[in-house]
Amino acid sequence: MSSIHLLLDPSAPAPNPSHQPDNTVTLKRRASPSFDPPAPDTHKRLKEDVPADASLDDPHHPPLISGSALADDLEQELLCGCCAGLIYRPVVVYPCQHYFCGSCCFLWVRNGGSNCPACRSVSTSVTPSRALQVMVDVLLRADPSRGRTEREKQQADEIYRSGQSFRIPTPREASPEPTIPQPGEYARPCPHCTPGNRFGWSCPQPVPDPAIDPDHAWHIDNGAPPGHSYCGNCENMLAVQAPTSTKCDFCQVSFCGVGVQGRCSASLLMVQQPNAMSDIGDLIQSAEVYECFDGNAVEVEIMLDYLTAQRMTPKHIYRDIVGHISAQPRNFAPLIELDLFVDIHGVVPGPSPDLDSSRDRICRLCAVEVLLFGLKDWWIRERRKGFLEPSVTDRPDCLDGSGCPLQKEHGTSHGPTQVTMVLTGFCSPCQRM
């Protein structure tokens, strides 16, 4: 009989080792003891035959698993790291893979969070977790009392839409410490004041270094040294005529161009990046965005959903707004008259030109003012393009417009009609349509 048949037929007699030739080496190894036949005095026992006081260390009486204890352990593993409750609409933060309720993590980002709420490590994205949701569903089928209340679910669903992924904004690069002198001190040289500097351009009127030439040092009480100013971003001394220096035509503040790349400059109007407005997450965190809509969070959320679906960025909106304002007869003059660009930097601006002067360059902070000024009107124009759902575009206008007394009373209703707002004034649910 072959060795294969011997292995597959337990009733076959075991081969006699004495019959095996001495010069043959077997490749078989002894079977695991778990396959050995049970001892005569042992037998399998049903679970109900195990005595209640059986020892946990007794190998013949394995411990039973308590369903309640298992549910407790599972619930502890599925608690949200923010609210400490059973996760609802779970999401996972990457790359650290901590998980939270979708609404908790969404609020964290909206309120300024730029990292993981649990470990505070740099994070990039948040995605829904089907695996965690399945575990939660299994737990709730076994014990529905462990779930959230209907009111909690409703509040969470108003904040976070199930299945939605979103980004966590990256932390902002810190500006260098300003070297702007305090009253009673002397001005320090700018980067271009030193002959043979790495920028290849030297100031025609260099500022004397007070540590080297105290007799000719420029006292700050006399104002900025001739041909110099202070950067609106890093607040360091700059040479006004230096090739790297630029000036914002809106706030009239100069920028050094050598402090923080991309931030210490006034760029061309159409290519500037609004400050702290890189993606949709920045709009979500901005309280000023909600102020543009008179506090109507309902309409803001509709707009944010639209921007996410269309993959639009704040810079895209800013460029549309700039193009629209530039096509108007008075250009940016109405914004200048509203003093939108006054005192937005911590340094003294230069003299203001005529109201109708050309506006070619803009700084990052002034770009934000332009974005916020035109955001609501841009959304009105965008709604008319027909890309939104009919349930949104077919809503009638509120007759009271932005003066509706229910503007900020979200969730209020005076009747069965639930209309959230629209073109003339973005008002909350109101039946006076």
Give the residue with greater pLDDT, 184 vs 9.
184
240-274 burial string, b = 16+ CB within 10 Å, else e?
Answer: eebebbbbbbbbbbbbbbbbbeebbbbbebeebbb
Rounded CA separation 79/81 (Å): 6
Place of tokens 């400059």: 265
Residue range 16-33: average pLDDT?
A: 45
Rounded CA separation 212/191 (Å): 16
Does residue 229 register a pLDDT over 70? yes
By three-state DSSP, how is residue 63 classified?
Answer: coil
pLDDT at 291: 86
Range with the largest mean pLDDT of 160-164, 183-187, 391-395: 160-164
Q: Work out the mean pLDDT of the chain and round it to a whole number.
A: 77
Residue 137: band (very low, low, confident or very high) from pLDDT cuts 50, 70, 90:
very high
Residue range 145-166: average pLDDT?
A: 88
Residues of the chain with pLDDT > 90, as a percent, come to 29
Domain architecture of the chain: domains with CATH? 68-167 (3.30.40.10), 280-394 (no CATH), 395-433 (no CATH)
Place of tokens 């960025």: 313
Give the residue with greater pLDDT, 64 vs 197.
197
Rounded CA separation 430/422 (Å): 11
Q: How far is Cα of residue 389 from the mean position of the Cα atoms in its chain? A: 26
Residue 395 contacts residue 421 (beta carbons within 8 Å): yes
pLDDT at 57: 57
Contacts of 177 (CB under 8 A, 6+ apart): none
DSSP E strands in 13-169: the ranges are 90-94, 99-101, 125-128, 166-167
Kindly write down the DSSP assignment for every residue of 340-398, as one continuous string: TTSS-SSS-------TT----EE-HHHHHHHHHHHHHHHHHHHHTTS-S-HHHHTPPPP
pLDDT at 34: 40
Range with the largest mean pLDDT of 1-5, 32-36, 125-129, 288-292: 125-129
Residue range 344-373: average pLDDT?
A: 90
Rounded CA separation 339/373 (Å): 12
Does residue 402 register a pLDDT over 80? no
Residue 44: band (very low, low, confident or very high) from pLDDT cuts 50, 70, 90:
very low
Peptide bond into 95 cis (omega under 30): yes
Query: What are the structure tokens assigned to 244, written together?
Result: 């790297």
The pTM assigned to this predicted structure is 0.57
Give the residue with greater pLDDT, 84 vs 112.
84
36-70 burial string, b = 16+ CB within 10 Å, else e?
Answer: eeeeeeeeeeeeeeeeeeeeeeeeeeeeeeeeeee
Give the residue with greater pLDDT, 27 vs 284.
284
